[in-house]
Structure formats: structure tokens, C-alpha cells
Structure 1
Amino acid sequence: MQWKHLPIVALDTETTGFEPFADDRMIEFAAVVFSWDDDGRIVTEDHSWLLNPQIPIPRKVTELTGIADRDVAGAPLFAEVAEEIHSLLRNAVTVAHNFPFDLNFMVAEFERVGMMWPYPVAEIDTLELSKKHFPEAPKHKLSDMSKRLDVVLEGAHRATNDAEACGRCFVELVRRHDVEDDLQALLEWAEGIGRPPGGGPIALHEGVGLEFVEGQHANSLIGEHPIELAWMAKARVRHDNGWQWRYPESTRQWIRRWLRVRGTGVAIQSKKSFRAEDWVLDSCNSVEAP
């Protein structure tokens, strides 16, 4: 699949705090859509909303963002714009700086209105790109990355400004590294996450999420069983001509990338051999004391 024919959506959120699954809420969401015109020039289209969080905005947040309670008093609830945001992201290459932060707030907001994160074609974190391509840099904030790439960032800590700077940093890195117009090549270069390979042991089910389709955890969300994922990345089966991988390289590569980017870290650190007995018990499993 050629990714440059897809919309590139750089997104950012402003929030009341740092706890998306507790009491904090989004107060602003922005998505800047990047595309190439026929002459190879970048064209952008902005989408942004102030959102009513239905809770007071802390003073520190107002000082940082300039967004006060009075600004969001008449703003829509997330539920009123959720479908539009979902449609923007669903078939896009999505980009964010510190993607897990924005992702967790988006997931929580979608869940509250009975919707699922749209699982875009690709999810790419420019924070990780900064660490990868500027390993000696002392800081990797969006403002620091923007300076290194000669990208203008005015009015930081407002969602539209941050999203546009993030997207332009991504586009500039892609240009400098001459990334191939192939989705898998992009994901490998950016260490991003795409949708799982079709016909494999993991599938994206509408309204549910990423699930195992076989084995002891069939119909369970993959995020609940990182140890199973780690096993799948290493699993082999014996044939007449010797040991072979149980799953194709495309599946194993997807799992390894998912564990690096979205996994808890537990499974990644578990260094196990291919011996069956090494996979019987795991120190992460607890048992009830008699």
C-alpha cells in the first residue's frame, strides 16, 4: 500500500490533567491533515474543537494553554463531535508527539460514548522519531524537535499549533530520509504500528478491538495477554525437515513492534528460550496463598 496517497493526520490534545481513565478530560482536540498536491507540495487542512470537559479546568492548565472555563462553557461535549473525529482518523496515517498520552485520552473519551478507537492505518510517534534520529539531543520536546528541523512552532500548548508542528516535523524527517512510498517501509522506518496482517492469529474486530482469533486466549483483547504475544513472536513447530516458525514473519514482526510500542514492558524483558518448559510458568503470574 502506498502511504503517500493516504491522509496524514497530525493530532494533539489539551487536557485537564494526566489521568485519562480517572477524572481528567480533554478540553481541546486538533487534527491537521497533510497531503501532497500534484506538484509535490504539502497542503494542510485544520480541524479543531474546544471541548466542554464538564469539570473545572485547573489554574495551572489555564496558565499553560490559555484555555479557561469560560472558553469551554458553550463548547460541544466530546460525544457531539466523536463521529467526526473518528472519521478523520480511521483511514489515515496518524502522527502525534508522545502518542501514548494522546491515545489514552482518545481511547477513554471514545469509550465513554460507546465507541472504539478507530485503529488508523498507521500510528507514528514523533517523540520516538526524535530519539531515534537525534540520539545525542538533551531534550526531545516538540519545541526542541521543531528547532532542530527548522519547523516553526508558534503558540505552543494549543492543540492546532502543536499538531501542525508535529506533522511538519514528520514530513521533514520523511523527506530527509527519503522514506519509500510503501506503508510497511514507513512503519519499519518509524517503528510505528499498523493494522495486523490479514488471515493471521490476531484480528481487528469492529466495535471490540484487537483480539486473538485462536489459542487459549481466543476472543480476548491482545493487550490483556502480553506474555502470549511474546510467545507467538518466538513460537516454533517441528516438521519433518526440522523446526519452523509457527507464524509468518509479517505476523511476528507486527507483534514485536506492538510489544515495543504498546506493550507493558513485562513481556519484552522476559528472555526465554525455545524450550517448552520455559513457557509453562511466568513470574508475572500470581497465585493465591493457601
Structure 2
Amino acid sequence: MRQIVLDTETTGLDPALGDRVIEVAAVELVNLLPTGATFHRLVDPERDIPAEATRVHGFTNGDLAGKPKFAEIAEEMLAFLGDAPIIAHNAPFDFGFLDAELKRCGQPVLDRSRMVDSLMLAKQRYPGMPNSLDALCRRLGVDNSMRSSHNAILDCTLLAQVYLELMGGKQPGFELAASLAVGRAAMGGEAQVEWVPCPIVVPADRAAAHAAFIAAKVKDALWLKPPFAPAPAEPG
């Protein structure tokens, strides 16, 4: 199962008032674990960055001088997102800004059915409690000591760990899925795995002893009756 964890940084809070995207980051998950594949671009917002926004994310006008405009990264970003579900913390905010940017450059907007809002998931699990990304990191034991400002790629990395915990934590078999995904990324394509059956061979004497035990101890064993009983071998 492929999913994308996404985060944006912006010049303000409302694209309808002219605020623009200045950073887009995305991290690929397969079966809830990061594969190592990421997308990260800084963007020239084509406007000044207010001082209050700089205090949040740390970016100044000089930091983004010469960076590509959103229209120049849109196709590459959409290709990375593919058709996977997109996880974001307060997802309507990120979707709203990306939709505004995509409309501005003539690209299709994101399908809202793909949106997974980790903030809503956290509110359902921890009603009435602080559910910011920092609060969730502290509550779930995710190390966020490096998070001195709102850096999109770091936030994606932290949110991927938080989302795993919100979905129930690591499950058996996920390590295999992650290793296959990393192998896929390294080879530049889909990892192909050949599953080889390994039947358990029971020695004839033990099989006979087991059959005798069942016949002596179990009356009318259900698994020895149709439709569970194996079909009698045809004479050959």
C-alpha cells in the first residue's frame, strides 16, 4: 500500500488573499513505513514573505531568490504523488494551497478523496488534548529535538512516524515490506519477489501415530467429514 506524507510552507494562511507556497515536501510510505523516496523543492513565491511568516518557518526573500516557480515543479510533484492517498497534518490547509497553485498554472487540482488528515485522526484518538505535531511527537515518543522551525521535509519525516503510531504502531511483516520498497527504489522499478512454498513434511511413522491417536480419542472428528475430508485417491 503506497501512501504519501506531505507538507507545505507558505507566505501566510490564506491563498485567497494572495499567499503562496514556498516549500513542498513529500515522503513515500509503503505499508506505513518510509521507503527513502522523497520529493522536496523550495519555490519562489513571486511575492514578499511577511516577517511573521519568516518567524514560523525561517525562510526569507533571499533564501528563495532564484528558486523555481511553482509552475516549474508542478508536473514533477504530481508525478511523485501519483494516485496515492496523501497524508497531511491539517490536510485541508495544504490541499487548499496546492489547489490554488495548480489552478494558477493550469494543472488539475488534487482529488479530495485522496486526503488523509492526520490531525482529525489524532483528535479522534485523543479528544480534548493538544494534537499539534509537536504535541503528538512528545505523546508518542517521537524524537522531534531537531525541529526548531517548520521545515517541510523534517515535518514529513516526523509525521510519518506519528502516523504509524496513530495507525496502531509497527505490525509484523512491515520490515519485509519496507526492505522490498527500498529495493524497488534502488533498482528504479518494482521489486519482484518469488514466493517459494515450503511444505512441512511429516514422517510416515508420526503421521500413522497421529491418525491412531485421533481415531482413539476423538469421536466424529469434523475435519474428517465432507467437505473438509480429503478426497479419496483415485486408483492409478
How big is the shift at 1:10?
0.6
* Shift in CA distance, 32/42, structure 1 to aligned 2, threshold 3 Å: closer
**1:115-154 matches, cutoff 5 A:** 115-119=107-111, 122-137=114-129, 139-153=130-144, 154=146
CA distance in 1, matches of 2:156, 2:34: 15
Residue 160 of structure 2 corresponds to which residue in structure 1?
167
Compared CA separation, residues 100 and 141, structure 1 to 2 (3 A) = same
Greater helix share, structure number: 2
Aligned match for 2:25, one of 30, 36, 53: 30
Distance in 2 of aligned mates of 1:161 and 1:83: 23
How far the C-alpha of 1:147 sits from its partner, in A, is 1.4
- Greater than 6 Å deviation, 4+ residue runs: none
Q: Is contact 1:93-1:120 (8 Å) kept?
A: no
Quote the sequence identity (%).
34
For residue 287 of structure 1, what is the aligned residue in structure 2? none
Query: Does the 8 Å contact 2:25/2:41 carry over to 1?
Result: yes
Task: Give the C-alpha shift of residue 42 in structure 1.
Answer: 4.3
Contact 1:110–1:116 (Cα < 8 Å) also in 2? yes
1:168–1:83 CA distance, 2 compared to 1 (3 A): same
Larger radius of gyration: 2
Per-residue CA distance 1:189-234 (angstroms, 9 max, x = gap) = xxxxxxxxxxxxxxxxxxxxxxxxxxxxxxxxxxxxxxxxxxxxxx
Residues 44/150 of structure 1: CA separation in 2 closer, same or farther (3 Å cut): farther
Amino acid at match of 2:81: L
Q: Does the CA contact (< 8 Å) of 1:91 and 1:120 recur in 2?
A: no
Gaps spanning 5+ residues in structure 1: where? 179-290
For the residues of structure 2 that align with 1:161 and 1:140, how far apart are their CA atoms?
A: 18
2:9 to 5, 14, 23: 14
Q: Contact between 2:27 and 2:157, CA under 8 Å: does it hold in 1?
A: yes
Give 2:51's aligned amino acid.
R
Deviations 1:48-71 (A, max 9, x none): 111000101111111221111111
- Superposed CA RMSD in Å reads 2.2
The answer as to whether partners of 2:164 and 2:170 remain within 8 angstroms in 1 is no
Structure number with higher relative contact order (C-alpha < 8 Å, ≥ 6 residues apart): 2
Matched positions, count: 170
Question: For 2:30, what is the secondary structure of its paired residue?
Answer: strand
**TM-aligned CA deviation for residue 35 of structure 1:** 2.2
Deviation at 1:120, TM superposition (A): 7.2
- 2:44 is aligned, of 52, 74, 77, to 52
Question: 1:92 is matched with which residue?
Answer: 84
* Deviations 1:156-207, CA, capped at 9 Å, x for gaps: 41111111211221122223497xxxxxxxxxxxxxxxxxxxxxxxxxxxxx
Structure 2 segments unaligned to the other structure (5+ residues): 172-236
Query: SS of the counterpart of 2:6?
Result: strand
Task: Normalising by structure 2, report the TM-score.
Answer: 0.66
Say if 2:119 and 2:131, in contact at 8 Å, map to a contact too.
Answer: yes
